[in-house]
Amino acid sequence: MTDERDFGFHTRSVHAGARPEPTSGARALPIFQTSSYVFEDPESAAAYFNLQEYGNTYSRIMNPTIAALEERIANLEGGVGAVCFASGMAAQTSAFFTLLNPGDHVIASSALYGGTVTQLKHLFRKLSIELTFVSPDNVDEWRSAIKDHTKLLYGETIGNPGGNVLDIEVLANLAHEHGMPLMVDNTFATPYLCRPMEFGADIVVYSTTKFLGGHGTSIGGAVTDSGEFNWSNGRYPVIAEPSDAYHGLAFHETFGIYGYLMKLRAETLRDLGACMSPFNAFLFAQGIETLPLRMRQHVSNAERVAQFLSEHPMIESVSYPGLETNLYKPLVDKYLPKGAGAVFCFDLPGGREAGQQFIRSLTLFSHLANVGDAKSLVIHPATTTHRQLSDDELLATGIGPGTVRVSIGIEDADDLIWDLEQGLAAITE
């Protein structure tokens, strides 16, 4: 791409990061299925390992196919760069690990993906990192949870599966008042529906497994950084001071706006090793080419289906934040003007039994543990994705025994409504 023009989101989804391959002329993004790279000479090899020059060394930390995907994601997000990982979980673990030390404290929204709640509670305890969960909606709770050793605020743009919308700007301002970054999981919104950095978020993480890929073929994750946060403000010696894990390199001083991402790649990805495969990077880059088109259809279908369910006499409640009556509609208007995504929950009367009978009767919706696929998906969170959570934790994420989560695909909305109607009829039978 060129600096001469600010290209639109659709153009960047197709072109950012990828250029025709110079040796073969291949127009599609090549899959560089290689573990390592032949160095031009010993001097360049040394310069690459010293991070004095940027060059490919080993595919655990860099690979040209993955680099193209990283550039595309960073471009769409408006960040200074991105680092990709083997999964969304690996991305967020690595993002945390890079800026936290044992003894640090993190404040997180209580309405998060169940796997993240478990990770924060149990893995953090093992690493001696203190954690406070707070209501995503109550900024006073966030403020009063801040301690001297708090290092990070964390939440999801649209919570999985409760559909709460995070007040990103308010939380970013609070974090910055206390010299901390705000990290946001933007998986459910994608950069097409919301770019959290435009509202002050510093680090944005993704499970690329979901809407970014859109095909349900691959697991992956990404971390993007705005480059705006001042890691040398005295609270983050782990990034600002010389690192004995990288022969005394001071990442922020040396790389400036790229300091956090360089440490994330050169140390955390190097040490934890949860790298994305080049083949998956190729599939994600292909998926992103159609991201804006898919998201428009996802949103328009989700709005139709949510409206249908909210008017159905059997349905007790629908948590789609885009509904006019939803508590989060004002935040949707501010942060998600193109739509509130396509994943939401609704409650069936009859609890667990009814939920399972309903799921058994669906024909178009696939019963599985994923979201953000082009195909419509359904699951019963209390017995699957969120089963490690206590009743209180379930309640905090907005899940009851009869709660069903759907991820609305890009099929015809009329067909999806037909399928849901016959699933509901099966319960009454």
Residues of this chain that bind ligand PLP (CB under 6 A): 87-89, 113, 115-116, 156, 160, 185, 187-188, 207, 209, 219, 221
Instruction: Work out how close the CB of 52 gets to ligand PLP at its nearest, in angstroms, rounded to a whole number.
Output: 34
Residue with Cβ nearer ligand PLP (91 or 238): 91
Residue with Cβ nearer ligand PLP (160 or 239): 160
Alpha-helical (H) ranges within 111-269 are: 114-118, 124-126, 139-145, 168-177, 190-193, 237-240, 251-255, 259-263
**Token pair 């705005």: residue:** 226
Q: What is the dihedral of CA 335, 339, 343, 346, to 10 degrees?
A: 100
Report the interhelical angle of 64-77 vs 278-289 (nearest 10°). Answer: 40
**Distances from the Cα of 358 to the Cαs of 124, 165, 381, 383, in angstroms?**
37, 28, 14, 14
Residue with Cβ nearer ligand PLP (105 or 405): 405
Q: Where are the beta strands (DSSP E) in 267-350?
A: 317-318, 343-347
Instruction: Work out how close the CB of 88 gets to ligand PLP at its nearest, in angstroms, rounded to a whole number.
Output: 2
Residue with Cβ nearer ligand PLP (255 or 282): 282
Q: Where are the beta strands (DSSP E) in 158-293?
A: 182-185, 203-207, 221-225
Backbone phi and psi for residue 192, each to the nearest 5 degrees, phi listed first? -70, -40
Backbone phi and psi for residue 5, each to the nearest 5 degrees, phi listed first? -145, 145
Instruction: Work out how close the CB of 115 gets to ligand PLP at its nearest, in angstroms, rounded to a whole number.
Output: 6
Instruction: Work out how close the CB of 335 gets to ligand PLP at its nearest, in angstroms, rounded to a whole number.
Output: 16
Residue with Cβ nearer ligand PLP (70 or 249): 70
Closest C-alpha among 408, 229, 259 to residue 320 = 408
Q: Measured between alpha carbons, how far is 248 from 241 in angstroms, rounded to an integer? A: 8
Instruction: Work out how close the CB of 87 gets to ligand PLP at its nearest, in angstroms, rounded to a whole number.
Output: 3
Residue with Cβ nearer ligand PLP (331 or 427): 331
Residue with Cβ nearer ligand PLP (160 or 240): 160
Instruction: Work out how close the CB of 371 gets to ligand PLP at its nearest, in angstroms, rounded to a whole number.
Output: 6
Instruction: Work out how close the CB of 306 gets to ligand PLP at its nearest, in angstroms, rounded to a whole number.
Output: 19
With H, G, I as helix, E, B as strand and everything else as coil, classify residue 234.
Answer: coil
